[in-house]
Amino acid sequence: DKAGHKHFMAKEIAEQPAVVGEAIAHYLPAGDDTVRLPGEGIDFSGVSRLVLVACGTAYYACLTAKYWFEQIARLPVEVDVASEFRYREPPVPAGTVALFVSQSGETADTLAALRYCRGKAEKILSVVNVPESSIARESDLALPIHAGVEVGVASTKAFTCQLTVLLILALKAAADRGQINAETLADHIAAIRGLPQLMNVALDDGETVRRAAQWLADTRDVLFLGRGMMYPLALEGALKLKEISYIHAEAYASGELKHGPIALIDPTMPVVVLAPMDPLFDKTVSNMQEVMARKGKVLLISDEAGLETARDGVWVTVKMPDVAPLLSPILYALPAQLLAYHTAVAKGTDVDQPRNLAKSVTVE
Ligand code: M6R
């Protein structure tokens, strides 16, 4: 049931304020400023290293989580795609916790990576959407994301729910490790509780994105740029666009632009810049100006202050509500998803069942 939407993907994008709210309600129950985990939970105080493993969109959720765990909890994190991790036979030193992220909980490579860690890692965690899945069953602690059934092959609501649970887990790690005081923790929790409302506002501006998508639909290549936590989101935005519109898209950390990809810039290649007004904003904007100086067409996604400062010469702007910097990857996922969706609709591709792809990749 598409609930009045043209595609499951549109329905699942629109559901995000509700399902992210659901995830928040489970992990941050009202009336209390502590994180509640299912079962026996986990205490991060004795953990010395975290390994995050996944595929596809879930891998980009892990890449984002690395910023959170390292910055807030001061916990060293290694992230890998499951198909590389499992065959590299990496050492898993004492004190390592391994965490696997999977919407389906059945991805063959992710499951094999989990089995490789069995008996080696201190503890095996998973962040899953399907609680009865193999990955959930074979973990010491499975953390459900509460996204509900996701039908669209292009993952949307599972991604933002994965991010929400991972951010809350990073806060728990920070508290366990004495890296955050009660007041800061309460501030972060309050910000997270406000996220569904901001997501509603972000979804409101779908029309600007839809118009920009009409033009993207005629291009062959698109570049996504982001810095810090916006870098993994740039990768996710590019993946979403290729999956459903079949347009070649790639993402770079903004700082890498002048190390190669700038050679691609010409008036025919749009560059999507994800840049909230955060401490890295000026750096990203200077990369964006390098693109515009070479006649690249920029689509800038930022907040009011960011657009005030940097809109000159930009081709299209998409305005996002102000958001606490830690939460920006979750909020900015929405315009990235909408951009891919509307581009695919404009091209007339099969949005929910893109060619060559399966919802769950159970063979390697
Ligand atoms: O079920 P999983 O989260 O383990 O799936 C991982 C990837 O196959 C999945 O995220 C894939 O990349 C999606 N098609 C992305 O939209």
pTM: 0.98
User: Higher model confidence: residue 164 or residue 32?
Assistant: 164
**277-to-176, 329, 354 alpha-carbon distances in Å:** 30, 13, 35
Is residue 19 predicted with pLDDT exceeding 80? yes
How confident is the model over 226-251, as a mean pLDDT? Answer: 97
107 ligand 1 Cβ < 6 A? yes
Does residue 358 have a pLDDT over 90? no
Mean pLDDT of 23-35: 95
pLDDT at 92 over 90: yes
**Mean pLDDT (whole number) for 339-348:** 97
Of 55, 129, 246, 360, best ligand 1 pocket probe by most atoms within 8 Å of the beta carbon: 55
pLDDT for 163-186, tens place per residue?
A: 999 999 999 999 999 999 999 999
CA distance 71 to 114: 25
Q: Quick check: ipTM above 0.95? A: yes
- Please, are residues 176 and 77 in contact by the beta-carbon 8 Å criterion? no
Mutating to test ligand 1, I would choose from 7, 162, 361 the residue with most ligand atoms within 8 A of its C-beta, which is: 361
pLDDT of res. 260: 94
| pLDDT tens digits for range 137-149 | 999 999 999 999 9
Q: What is the pLDDT of residue 265?
A: 95
How far does the chain reach from its first CA to its final CA, in angstroms? Answer: 31
The answer to whether 46 and 190 are in contact (CB under 8 A) is no
For the question of residue 319 being annotated catalytic, the response is no
Share of the chain above pLDDT 90, in %: 94
How many angstroms separate the CA atoms of 133 and 113, rounded?
Answer: 15
Cβ of 156 below 6 Å from ligand 1: no
In this structure, of 48-52, 75-79, 359-363, the range with the lowest mean pLDDT score is: 359-363
